Amino acid sequence: ERFLITERIFPTEKGNNRMKARKKDVKQCLIYDDTASVMSEAFQRIQVNLDFASVDEKYKVISCTSASTNEGKTTVLVNLANVYALKGFKVLIVDLDLRAPVVHRYFGIPNEKGIVDYLVDKASKEEIVKKGVRENLDVITRGTRTPFPTKVLESQRLDDFLKEVRDEYDYIFVDCTPVLLFPDPIIISKFVDAFVLVASVRISKKNEIKDAMKMIRSNGLNVVGSVINKVPVKKRDRYYYLSLIH
């Protein structure tokens, strides 16, 4: 079983401004304007390893999930998408975490007329795609809240839509819910080429990670790697990263 390099992405030294960013200001966690930072280099290593993992068959649709909440899956997904966009690839982010969407907050854009609105015929494709949010990067938010997220994710129209945009972008990054809380990652696995499992040293529990992997394996999700973040290290070890896991 193959895993990506497991990176110490977010340092937790005392006084680190990124870790103090409030939920409403999560866009501080973006690496777009700080491409020479240690965090940016960590994401670039993950991107390289992800490409190596798909050397035989390119992974175009990628998703990040976690065992539980607040483990950093969306932050990892958004920053990975940014890395690919910075390298000149045409990238689309789709927020399919229909229960607790936050992708729009990273870019400071309104959560209006999103994927849900398109699927229920309340908006057109042109209306929901936020073009040029960053260079080479487009975003589709969730949009209107739905009381039936499972039905939305199971809809044939969503499947058809993702097949359509698959031909228009080099990479599509899909946010989704934690795998232990809802069946959403299992439902969307039919059109996701690869999942990355995100865990937090400060939040993740060993038994939850084991349960998540058990569920992932039993349902046939293609998890190609894991990312561990929020590892507490000393400032002098700021370039430290964890080794390859097999």
- Residue located via tokens 């949009």: 143
Let me know if 120 is exposed, middle or buried by CB neighbors in 10 A (0-12, 13-18, 19+): middle
Q: Which residues of the chain have pLDDT under 50?
A: 1-24, 235-246
pLDDT digits 0-9 by tens, 197-242: 998 887 888 899 899 989 998 999 999 888 887 766 554 344 333 3
What pLDDT is attached to residue 183? 95
What pLDDT is attached to residue 204? 80
Range list of H helices, the chain: 17-20, 38-53, 73-86, 103-107, 115-119, 125-128, 149-154, 156-166, 184-188, 206-218
Provide the β-strand partners of residue 171: 91
Task: For residue 168, give the amino acid letter.
Answer: E
Provide the β-strand partners of residue 244: 5
Distance CA 30, CA 163 (A): 28
What pLDDT is attached to residue 77? 95
What pLDDT is attached to residue 238? 43
pTM confidence score:
0.84
Strand 91-95 to 137-140 pairing: parallel
Give Cβ neighbours of residue 239 (< 8 Å, ≥ 6 apart).
38
The single-letter DSSP state of residue 129 is -
Number of H helices, E strands in the chain: 10, 7
**Closest C-alpha to 110, from 78, 79, 137, 142:** 142
